[in-house]
C-alpha cells in the first residue's frame, strides 16, 4: 500500500494513494459540503459545492473527484472557497422553485440546509427557474417535480448503477439540460419499476413518493369506515429515525400504540401474511421440486424466484418478459393481507367488506403501484386501499401530535396480528430465503434446519448476490425423492444483481432451485419508502435491528404461528388449495422495455 | 515583452513533397526518442487552445505501457470564429495525417481517428480518398496504423478532449473529471493522445524543416508560426499563417478596416482587446492560441457581441456542472436586466464576480473561460452595456 | 430505402454490439431521414442492449440528432456573431418569407425545416447556412431565393 502525505487545514495526514480529498478530510473530521456526491454511487463531480483550495493552484478543485496528492496543502474553508461555494449554492437556488413551505421535503432537504448554512441572498441572482413546469403525477408511486431539480444526477446514477433500469437520463444540454425519462414520457409509461431508490437519494423534493395519507385520515375520520392498518416488518426498525430515535432503534410497541391513538380501528401486522407467504411459497417450491425431480415435468420452471418485491416483479416483467414462469405465483404479503382483510377478517369480525379500508404501511414506493394493479381485487374490492411509506406514516404521527417517545408499548390486535421471527426477517435481504428454509426443512425432514439458533448465516449479509446449498438428509417418507438433494439457493438484492441472476437464467446456466430477489439494496430495510437519508451504515443498523427483533420472538418458524394454523383450519383449507389460489396467488404480464 | 513585426510565414500550406507521405517515410528512419526530443526542442504547443507542449504529451504517451493506444485528431473546431482546421483538411490533409502517423510511430498506437465535426460532413468523401492513400502508404512503410473518420453530431463542448472521448464511446458529451487525463485513461479506458488538426500538421512540418528553424520563429513563450482565422470587419478575412508575437496594433493595421474598435482573440473563449490596448498587447502572450480573431469596427454594439457570446455559452454548455450551466444563464439574463434598467449598473460588477467564480469552479475549460470575454468586454465597454 | 434495422445491423457489424456503435447508428438514421423516431430509438436500445432512455438522453444532447420529425431538407442558418454582423437577420427573414414558415418550423409540403445553428466554421464567408450537409456562403436575400428555388425544382 502506497501512502501519501498531505495537509488539510494545517493538519498533516497520511492516506492511501487514490483517496479523494473529500475522503481524506473526513478522516480528520473536516466536513466538506456536498450535493451530487452519494456514498452509494460513483463520483460525478458536477455540483461543484465541494470545491476546496489547493495552495499554489488558481482554480479550486472538486474534493469529491480529485485524488489527494503528495504534498498538497489544502484549505477547505478559506474566503475564496466560501465565496465560491456561496455563489454555487446561490446559483442552484436561482434555478430552483423556492416554495419551501409547500414542499414535502421541507426541513429534510440538502439544498435548503446548504442555503441556510451559507446564508444565501435570494436577490443575488435573477430567477432562472423555467416557467410552466408541471409535476408528473402519472405514476401511482413516484412524483417528479422538475422545478425542484438541481440536476445532480443522483437519481440517474441510482437507476443506472444500483438498479440497472436506466429509466432516467440526463437529456438535452446547456440551459435546457434536465432529467428525463425516455422521450420525457410520463413515469407510468416507461420502464420505471417504482422502487423509489431515486427518491431515497434525491437531495431535494424533485423526486418524491405519491402521497395518500390525506385519504387515510379521511377514512379514519369516517365513522362508517373500519380502518385496518398493517405494517411491514422493516417499518418498525426505521420509523424511529423520523421521530428522534437513533438509527437502528426498534419502535414496534410504540408504533402500534400510535396507530391506535390515531384512530385506526384495527392494528394488524403484515408479518402475519409474511408467515403465510412462507407456507404458500414453501409449498409451491416443494411442489415444483416434486414435479421436476420426481415426475420429470419439463413445463415446470426452476429456479423459482420470490415475488414479494413489487419493484422486482415489474422489473422482470419489463426486462425478462419471457421468463415470468420463474416467478412464484404467490402475492406479496401486502396483497395477501388485503385479500384476506376483506374476506376472512371481515367474515370473522362480521363487518361488511365494503366498509373496510385497508391501509398498508410499507418501506416501499412500489407497493403503492402494486396495490393499484388492476388484478389486485380478488376480495371483490380493492384489496389494499392505500399504501403509505414509512415516511408518510412518520409524518402522520407528527400530524397527530403524539408524543411518540412517551407512548407505551402495546401489541398488535388479533386476528392477523400474530407473527413469528421468520415473518420479521422478511425485512432484510436474505430474510425470505431464511424463513422459507426454516419451514421447508422442517416440513421435509421433521427436524430444524441444522444452523445454530435457526440463524442461517450464509444467506445473510450485504454481498449483492449470495449463494448457499443445503443438503437434504433424513427426509420424511412422503419427501423421499428429495433425499440427498443438494438444494441450491441464492439471494440477490438491488436490481443490478437481479439482472445478473436473470442473465444466467436466460442463458440456461442457472444452477439454483430457489432464489430470493429484492429490488432494493439491503432489502426492505433499504426500501424506497424508508426515511431519508440512506447509506450502507444506516442499512446495516436497520438490518441488525431486524435480526434482534427475530431473536426476541418466541416463535421463529412460520408454520408454528398459531394464527396461521387457525386460518388454514377455519378458512383456507390447505396450502395451494382452492381459496389460496383465488386469494393469495396471482399472475404476471409482459411489458415493453422503454 | 517580445515584439515581433507582423510577418507572414508559409510553412503549413507549402506544397507537398513529391512522393506521398515522404515526411513520414523519412521520419521513420529516425530514432523514436529523437523525434520526440526534436518536438520538445521545437517548443510547439497545442494549437487547440489549451497550449500544452506537444512533445511532452507524446513523450507521456510513449511511456505508457499499454499495448492498446489511440491517436485522435481533434477536428471538432466549434469555436465561433475558427475555421483554420477546415482549410487544413481541405488543402493539406496529408500533413495532418502524417503528423498523426508520426505520433503513432513514436508512441506505438495502432488506431487513429479523425473526430470531424458534423458541420464538416461534406468533406468526408474527399478525406476518405486521402485516407485510402494514407493507409496504403503506411502499409508500404511497414507502419501498423490505420486512421478512420468519426463524425461528430453537433456539440461545441465535444471539442473538449474528454467530452470528445465520451461522445466517441456513444455517450453524452459531458467532460470527465481530471485526473485521470486521456494520456493515461482515454478512449475505452486506454491511453489516448488528442491533438488539434493544426498541431498534427505542425509536427509533420517540424519533422521536415527541423526544430531549429521552427523555433527561430515566434517569441520566447510561443514558438513557431500559427494559423489565424480572421473574420469580422476585415477586408482580408480568411486563414493567414503568421509568426507569433506581433503587436495587436500591427495586426489591426494589416487586417482591420481602418476603424477597428476591438479585436477578439482566441475565439469567444478568449479575450476582447479594446483599441486602447492595441499598442501594448501581443498576440500569443497571455491570451489563448486557438487563433480565432474577430475584428469589430466602431459601428458594432459590444452589447450585442457579448449577448451573442453568452447565448452561445448558455446553449453549448454541456449542462452538467452548476457554475457553467446556471452561471451562463445568469450572465445572459444579467446583462439584459442591466440594459433594460431592471438592475443597476453596479450589477455588472456582481456578474464579473460570478464569472470569476465560474472560472475557478467549473469542471472544464468551457465554463472556466467564459470570464475571459465577459470580463474583458464589460470592463472595456461598460457604457455600451448600460445605455 | 434502407430499413432502420439494416442500418443497425450494419453498424453493429462494424463497431460491435457496444455502446460505441450508438452515435454512428443515430447519425446514419439522421442521414437517411433527418430525424430519429421514438420507435427507432426503442429498436436501437434493444439492439445494443441499453435503455431507450439512454438512447434518447444521448441523442438529445447533440444538435444534429433531431428526435422530432423534420423536413427532407433541414436548413441551418449560422447565428454566430460574424454571420450576424454580415446580415444573417436579412437572410433569415428572406428564408422565412420564401418558405412561409417561422424559425423552428417545417413547410407544409414537408420539404424544408428552418433552424439556426451555432458557428458553422464559415465565418470568413458569412452569412452562411447548411442545407442538410451542403454549405452555402456569402448569402444575400436574393441568393437565398435562388437556392431554395433550385431545391424546389430538384424535387419536381
Ligand atoms: C469547450 C472546449 C472546446 C474545445 N474545442 C476544441 C476544438 O474544437 N479543437 C481542438 O483542437 N481543441 C479543442 N479544445 C481543447 C481540447 O480539449 C484539447 O486541449 C486539445 O484538443 C488538445 O490538442 P492540442 O494540445 O493539440 O491543442 C476545446 C476545449 C474546450 C474546453
Ligand atoms: S464547465 Fe460547462 S461544459 Fe464544462 S463540464 Fe461544466 S457544464 Fe459542462
Residue range C64-104, pLDDT digits in tens: 999 999 999 999 999 999 999 999 999 999 999 999 999 99
Assigned CATH topology for domain A278-330+419-590: Fe-only Hydrogenase (Larger Subunit); Chain L, domain 3 (3.40.950)
Please identify, among B215, B235, B260, the residue that sits at the C-terminal boundary of a domain.
Answer: B215
- Selecting from 3.10.20.740, 1.10.10.10, 3.90.1150.10, 3.40.50.970, what CATH number does the domain A3-77 have? 3.10.20.740
The verdict on residue C66 lying in a domain is no
Of the partner residues A165, A171, A594, the one whose CB lies closest to the CB of residue C45: A594
* Residue among B26, B23, B25 at smallest CA distance from B12: B23
Question: Do the chains contact at A175 and B316, CB–CB below 8 Å?
Answer: no
Ligand 1 midpoint to CA B159 (Å): 5
* Class of domain A225-272+334-406 as given by CATH: alpha beta
The verdict on residue C16 lying in a domain is yes
C93 and C40, same structural domain?
Answer: no
B307 and B209, same structural domain?
Answer: no
Contacts of B154 in chain C (CB under 8 A): 62-65, 117
Q: Domain span at residue B341? A: 302-386
**CA count, 13 A, side-chain hemisphere, A566:** 14
The verdict on residue C67 lying in a domain is no
The verdict on residue B382 lying in a domain is yes
d(CA B176, CA B164): 10
C143 and C78, same structural domain?
Answer: yes
Residue B191 has pLDDT above 70, yes or no: yes
- HEC profile for chain B? CCCECCCECCCCCCCCCCCCCHHHHHHCCCCHHHHHHHHHHHCCECCCCCCCEHHHHHHHHHHCCCCCCEEEEEECCCCCCCCHHHHHHHHCHHHHHHHHHHHHHHHCCCEEEEEECHHHHHHHHHHHHHHHHHHHHHHHCCCCCEEEEEECCCCHHHHCHHHHHHHHCCCCCCCCCCCCCCCCCCHHHCCEEEEEHHHHHHHHHHHHHCHHHHHCCECCCCECEEEEEEEECCCCCEEEEEECCEEHHHHHHHHCCCCEEEEEECHHHCEEEEHHHCCCCECCCCCCCCCEEEEEECCCCHHHHHHHHHHHHHHHCCCCCHHHHHHHHHHHHHHHHHHCCCCCCCHHHHHHHHHHHHHHHCCCHHHHHHHHHHHHHHHHCHHHHHC
pLDDT in tens, A517-533: 999 999 999 999 999 99
Q: Residue A386 forms beta bridges with which residues?
A: A359
Number of separate domains in chain B: 2
Q: Is C26 on the interface with B (CB under 8 A)?
A: yes
pLDDT at B1: 47
The verdict on residue B161 lying in a domain is yes
**pTM of the model as a whole:** 0.96
Cβ(A563)–Cβ(A556) below 8 Å: no
Chain A residue with the nearest C-alpha to that of B312: A174
Of the partner residues C20, C80, C133, the one whose CB lies closest to the CB of residue B170: C20
Active site residues of A: 281, 284, 308, 328, 367, 370, 375, 524
C136 and C98, same structural domain?
Answer: yes
Q: Domain span at residue C90? A: 73-154
d(CA B51, CA B44): 9
Residue B286 has pLDDT above 80, yes or no: no
The verdict on residue B166 lying in a domain is yes
* Residue among B1, B77, B3 at smallest CA distance from B243: B3
pLDDT at B2: 54
Here the CATH number for the domain that contains residue B375 is 1.20.1440.230
- Model confidence at B285, pLDDT cuts 50, 70, 90, reads low
* Class of domain A103-209 as given by CATH: alpha beta
The verdict on residue B342 lying in a domain is yes
The verdict on residue B232 lying in a domain is no
The verdict on residue C86 lying in a domain is yes
Q: Is C149 on the interface with B (CB under 8 A)?
A: no
pLDDT at B18: 82
Give the other-Cβ count within 10 Å of A473's Cβ: 13
Q: Which of C19, C51, C54 to mutate to test the interface with A (most CBs of A within 10 A)?
A: C51
The verdict on residue B359 lying in a domain is yes
CA dist B73 → B46, B68, B378 (Å): 12, 17, 35
Contacts of B329 in chain A (CB under 8 A): 95, 128, 175
C102 and C44, same structural domain?
Answer: no
Question: Do the chains contact at B322 and A125, CB–CB below 8 Å?
Answer: no
Residue B221 has pLDDT above 80, yes or no: no
The H or E element containing residue A85 is: helix A79-94
Cβ(A384)–Cβ(A358) below 8 Å: yes
For residue B173, the distance in angstroms to the closest alpha carbon of chain C comes to 7
Question: Do the chains contact at B318 and C61, CB–CB below 8 Å?
Answer: yes
pLDDT at A309: 98
For residue B285, the distance in angstroms to the closest alpha carbon of chain A comes to 18
The verdict on residue C116 lying in a domain is yes
Proximal ligand: closest to the CA of B361: 2
Domain boundaries, chain A: 3-77, 103-209, 225-272+334-406, 278-330+419-590
Q: In degrees rounded to 5, what are phi and psi of residue B386?
A: -95, -45
B323 and B204, same structural domain?
Answer: no
Residue B260 has pLDDT above 90, yes or no: yes
Please identify, among B178, B199, B215, the residue that sits at the C-terminal boundary of a domain.
Answer: B215
Question: Do the chains contact at B317 and A172, CB–CB below 8 Å?
Answer: no
C24 and C82, same structural domain?
Answer: no
Number of separate domains in chain C: 2
The verdict on residue B317 lying in a domain is yes
pLDDT in tens, A127-142: 999 998 999 999 999 9
Q: Is B64 on the interface with A (CB under 8 A)?
A: no
pLDDT in tens, B18-43: 899 999 999 999 999 999 999 999 99
Strands C112-117 and C73-78: parallel
Give the other-Cβ count within 10 Å of C134's Cβ: 12
Closest C-alpha to ligand 1, atom 20:
B48
Task: Tell me the CA end-to-end span of chain C in Å, nearest whole number.
Answer: 19
Q: Is C80 on the interface with B (CB under 8 A)?
A: yes
Q: Is C34 on the interface with B (CB under 8 A)?
A: no
Please identify, among B215, B244, B261, the residue that sits at the C-terminal boundary of a domain.
Answer: B215
C24 and C79, same structural domain?
Answer: no
C145 and C98, same structural domain?
Answer: yes
The verdict on residue B356 lying in a domain is yes
- Model confidence at B111, pLDDT cuts 50, 70, 90, reads very high
Cis ω on the peptide bond leading into residue A415 (within 30° of 0)?
yes
C82 and C140, same structural domain?
Answer: yes
B177 and B311, same structural domain?
Answer: no
- Model ipTM over 0.90: yes
C106 and C43, same structural domain?
Answer: no
Tens of pLDDT, residue by residue, chain A (594 residues): 799 999 999 999 999 999 999 999 999 999 999 999 999 999 999 999 999 999 999 999 999 999 999 999 999 999 999 999 999 999 999 999 999 999 999 999 999 999 999 999 988 999 999 998 999 999 999 999 999 999 999 999 999 999 999 999 999 999 999 999 999 999 999 999 999 999 999 999 999 999 999 999 999 999 999 999 999 999 999 999 999 999 999 999 999 999 999 999 999 999 999 999 999 999 999 999 999 989 999 999 999 999 999 999 999 999 999 999 999 999 999 999 999 999 999 999 999 999 999 999 999 999 999 999 999 999 999 999 999 999 999 999 999 999 999 999 999 999 999 999 999 999 999 999 999 999 999 999 999 999 999 999 999 999 999 999 999 999 999 999 999 999 999 999 999 999 999 999 999 999 999 999 999 999 999 999 999 999 999 999 999 999 999 999 999 999 999 999 999 999 999 999 999 999 999 999 999 999
Pocket test for ligand 2, best of B364, B371, B372 (most atoms within 8 A of CB): B364
Contacts of B85 in chain C (CB under 8 A): 121
The verdict on residue C68 lying in a domain is no
Here the CATH number for the domain that contains residue C99 is 3.40.30.10
Neighbours of chain B (3+ CB pairs under 8 A): A, C
CA dist A341 → A226, A359, B69 (Å): 11, 10, 66
The verdict on residue C82 lying in a domain is yes
C78 and C120, same structural domain?
Answer: yes
* Percentage of chain C exceeding pLDDT 70: 99
* Percentage of chain B exceeding pLDDT 70: 98
Residue C1 has pLDDT above 60, yes or no: no
Amino acid at each position: 500500500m502506497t501512502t501519501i502525505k498531505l495537509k488539510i487545514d494545517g493538519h498533516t495526514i497520511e492516506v492511501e494513494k487514490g483517496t479523494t480529498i473529500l475522503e481524506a478530510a473526513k478522516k480528520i473530521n473536516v466536513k466538506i459540503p456536498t450535493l451530487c456526491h452519494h456514498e452509494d454511487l460513483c463520483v460525478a463531480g458536477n455540483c461543484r459545492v465541494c470545491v476546496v483550495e489547493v495552495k499554489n493552484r488558481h482554480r479550486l478543485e472538486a474534493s469529491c473527484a480529485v485524488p489527494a496528492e503528495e504534498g498538497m496543502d489544502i484549505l477547505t474553508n478559506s474566503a475564496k472557497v466560501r465565496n465560491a461555494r456561496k455563489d454555487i449554492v446561490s446559483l442552484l437556488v436561482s434555478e430552483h422553485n423556492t416554495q419551501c413551505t409547500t414542499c414535502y421535503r421541507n426541513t429534510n432537504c440538502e439544498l435548503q440546509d446548504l442555503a441556510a448554512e451559507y446564508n444565501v441572498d435570494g436577490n443575488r441572482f435573477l430567477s432562472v427557474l423555467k416557467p410552466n413546469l408541471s409535476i408528473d403525477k402519472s405514476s401511482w408511486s413516484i412524483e417528479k417535480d422538475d422545478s425542484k431539480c438541481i440536476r445532480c444526477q443522483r437519481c440517474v446514477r441510482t437507476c443506472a448503477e444500483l438498479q440497472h433500469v436506466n429509466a432516467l437520463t440526463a437529456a438535452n444540454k446547456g440551459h435546457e439540460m434536465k432529467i428525463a425519462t425516455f422521450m420525457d414520457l410520463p413515469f407510468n409509461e416507461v420502464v420505471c419499476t417504482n422502487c423509489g431508490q431515486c427518491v431515497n437519494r434525491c437531495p431535494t423534493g424533485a423526486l418524491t413518493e405519491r402521497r395518500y395519507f390525506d385519504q387515510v385520515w379521511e377514512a379514519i375520520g369516517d365513522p362508517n369506515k373500519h380502518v385496518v392498518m398493517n405494517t411491514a416488518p422493516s417499518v418498525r426498525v426505521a420509523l424511529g429515525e423520523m421521530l428522534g430515535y437513533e438509527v437502528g432503534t426498534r419502535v414496534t410497541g410504540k408504533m402500534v400504540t400510535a396507530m391506535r391513538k390515531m384512530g385506526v380501528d384495527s392494528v394488524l401486522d403484515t408479518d402475519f401474511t409474511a408467515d403465510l407467504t412462507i407456507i404458500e411459497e414453501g409449498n409451491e417450491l416443494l411442489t415444483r421440486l416434486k414435479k421436476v425431480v420426481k415426475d420429470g415435468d419439463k413445463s415446470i420452471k426452476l429456479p423459482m424466484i420470490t415475488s414479494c418485491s413489487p419493484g422486482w416483479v415489474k422489473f422482470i416483467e419489463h426486462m425478462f418478459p419471457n421468463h415470468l414462469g420463474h416467478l412464484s405465483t404467490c402475492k406479496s404479503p401486502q396483497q395477501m393481507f388485503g385479500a384476506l382483510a376483506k374476506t376472512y377478517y371481515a367474515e370473522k369480525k362480521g363487518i361488511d367488506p365494503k366498509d373496510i379500508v385497508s391501509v398498508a404501511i410499507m418501506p416501499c414506493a412500489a407497493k403503492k403501484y402494486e396495490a393499484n394493479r388492476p388484478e389486485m381485487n380478488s376480495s371483490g374490492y380493492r384489496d389494499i386501499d392505500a399504501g403509505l411509506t414509512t415516511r408518510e406514516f412518520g409524518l402522520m404521527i407528527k400530524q397527530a401530535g403524539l408524543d411518540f417517545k412517551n407512548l407505551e408499548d402495546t401489541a398488535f390486535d388479533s386476528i392477523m396480528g400474530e407473527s413469528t421471527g421468520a415473518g420479521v426477517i422478511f425485512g432484510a435481504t436474505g430474510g425470505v430465503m431464511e424463513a422459507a428454509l426454516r419451514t421447508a426443512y422442517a416440513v421435509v425432514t421433521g427436524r430444524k434446519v441444522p444452523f445454530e439458533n435457526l440463524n442461517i448465516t450464509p444467506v445473510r449479509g450485504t454481498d449483492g448476490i449470495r449463494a448457499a446449498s443445503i443438503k437434504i438428509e433424513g427426509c420424511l417418507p412422503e419427501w423421499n425423492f428429495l433425499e440427498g438433494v443438494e438444494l441450491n439457493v441464492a439471494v440477490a438484492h438491488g436490481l443490478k444483481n437481479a439482472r445478473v441472476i436473470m442473465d444466467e437464467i436466460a442463458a440456461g446456466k442457472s444452477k439454483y432451485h430457489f432464489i430470493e430477489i429484492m429490488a432494493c439494496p439491503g432489502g426492505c430495510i433499504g426500501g424506497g419508502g424508508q426515511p431519508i437519508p440512506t447509506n450502507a451504515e444506516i442499512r446495516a443498523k436497520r438490518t441488525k435491528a431486524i435480526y434482534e427483533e427475530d431473536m426476541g420472538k418466541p416463535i421463529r418458524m412460520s408454520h408454528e404461528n398459531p394464527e396461521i394454523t387457525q386460518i388454514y383450519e377455519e378458512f383456507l383449507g390447505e396450502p395451494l388449495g382452492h381459496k389460496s389460489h383465488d386469494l393469495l396467488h396471482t399472475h404476471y404480464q409482459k411489458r415493453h422495455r422503454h | 515583452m517580445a515584439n515581433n513585426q507582423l510577418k507572414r510565414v508559409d510553412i503549413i500550406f507549402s506544397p507537398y513533397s513529391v512522393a506521398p507521405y515522404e515526411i513520414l517515410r523519412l521520419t521513420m528512419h529516425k530514432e523514436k526518442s529523437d523525434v520526440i526530443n526534436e518536438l520538445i526542442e521545437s517548443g510547439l504547443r497545442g494549437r487547440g487552445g489549451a497550449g500544452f507542449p506537444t512533445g511532452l504529451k507524446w513523450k507521456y504517451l510513449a511511456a505508457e505501457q499499454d499495448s492498446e493506444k489511440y491517436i485522435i485528431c481533434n477536428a471538432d473546431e466549434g469555436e465561433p470564429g475558427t475555421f483554420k482546421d477546415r482549410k487544413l483538411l481541405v488543402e493539406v490533409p496529408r500533413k495532418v495525417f502524417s503528423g498523426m502517423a508520426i505520433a503513432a510511430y513514436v508512441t506505438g498506437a495502432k488506431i487513429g481517428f479523425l473526430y470531424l465535426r458534423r458541420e464538416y460532413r461534406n468533406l468526408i468523401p474527399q478525406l476518405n480518398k486521402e485516407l485510402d492513400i494514407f493507409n496504403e502508404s503506411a502499409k508500404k512503410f511497414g507502419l501498423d496504423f490505420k486512421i478512420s473518420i468519426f463524425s461528430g453530431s453537433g456539440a461545441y463542448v465535444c471539442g473538449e478532449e474528454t467530452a470528445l472521448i465520451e461522445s466517441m464511446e456513444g455517450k453524452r458529451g459531458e467532460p470527465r473529471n481530471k485526473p485521470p487525463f486521456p494520456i493515461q485513461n482515454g478512449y475505452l479506458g486506454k491511453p489516448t493522445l488528442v491533438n488539434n488538426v493544426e498541431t498534427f500538421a505542425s509536427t509533420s512540418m517540424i519533422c521536415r524543416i527541423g526544430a531549429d528553424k521552427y523555433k527561430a520563429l515566434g517569441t520566447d513563450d510561443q514558438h513557431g508560426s500559427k494559423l489565424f482565422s480572421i473574420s469580422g470587419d476585415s477586408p482580408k478575412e480568411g486563414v493567414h499563417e503568421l509568426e507569433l508575437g506581433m503587436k495587436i496594433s500591427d495586426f489591426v493595421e494589416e487586417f482591420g478596416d481602418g476603424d477597428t474598435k476591438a479585436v477578439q482573440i482566441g475565439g469567444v473563449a478568449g479575450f476582447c482587446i479594446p483599441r486602447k490596448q492595441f499598442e501594448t498587447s501581443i498576440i500569443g502572450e497571455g491570451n489563448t492560441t486557438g487563433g480565432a480573431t474577430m475584428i469589430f469596427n466602431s459601428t458594432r454594439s459590444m452589447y450585442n457581441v457579448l449577448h451573442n457570446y453568452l447565448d452561445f455559452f448558455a446553449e453549448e454548455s454541456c449542462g452538467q456542472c452548476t457554475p457553467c450551466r446556471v452561471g451562463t444563464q445568469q450572465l445572459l439574463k444579467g446583462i439584459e436586466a442591466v440594459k433594460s434598467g431592471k438592475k443597476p449598473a453596479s450589477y455588472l460588477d456582481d456578474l464579473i464576480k460570478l464569472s470569476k467564480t465560474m472560472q475557478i469552479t467549473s469542471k472544464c475549460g468551457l465554463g472556466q473561460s467564459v470570464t475571459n470575454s465577459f470580463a474583458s468586454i464589460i470592463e472595456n465597454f461598460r457604457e455600451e452595456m448600460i445605455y | 430505402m434502407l430499413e432502420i434495422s439494416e442500418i443497425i445491423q450494419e453498424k453493429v457489424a462494424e463497431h460491435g454490439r457496444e455502446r460505441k456503435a450508438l452515435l454512428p447508428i443515430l447519425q446514419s438514421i439522421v442521414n437517411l431521414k433527418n430525424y430519429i423516431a421514438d420507435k427507432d430509438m426503442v429498436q436501437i436500445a434493444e439492439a445494443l442492449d441499453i435503455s431507450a432512455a439512454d438512447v434518447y438522453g444521448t441523442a438529445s444532447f447533440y444538435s444534429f440528432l433531431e428526435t422530432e420529425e423534420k423536413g427532407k431538407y433541414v436548413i441551418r442558418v449560422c447565428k454566430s456573431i460574424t454571420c450576424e454582423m454580415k446580415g444573417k437577420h436579412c437572410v433569415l427573414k428572406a428564408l422565412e418569407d420564401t418558405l412561409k414558415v417561422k424559425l423552428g418550423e417545417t413547410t407544409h409540403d414537408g420539404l424544408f425545416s428552418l433552424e439556426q445553428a451555432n458557428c458553422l466554421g464559415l465565418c470568413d464567408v458569412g452569412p452562411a447556412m447548411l442545407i442538410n450537409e451542403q454549405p452555402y456562403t456569402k448569402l444575400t436575400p436574393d441568393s437565398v431565393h435562388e437556392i431554395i428555388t433550385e431545391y424546389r425544382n430538384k424535387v419536381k
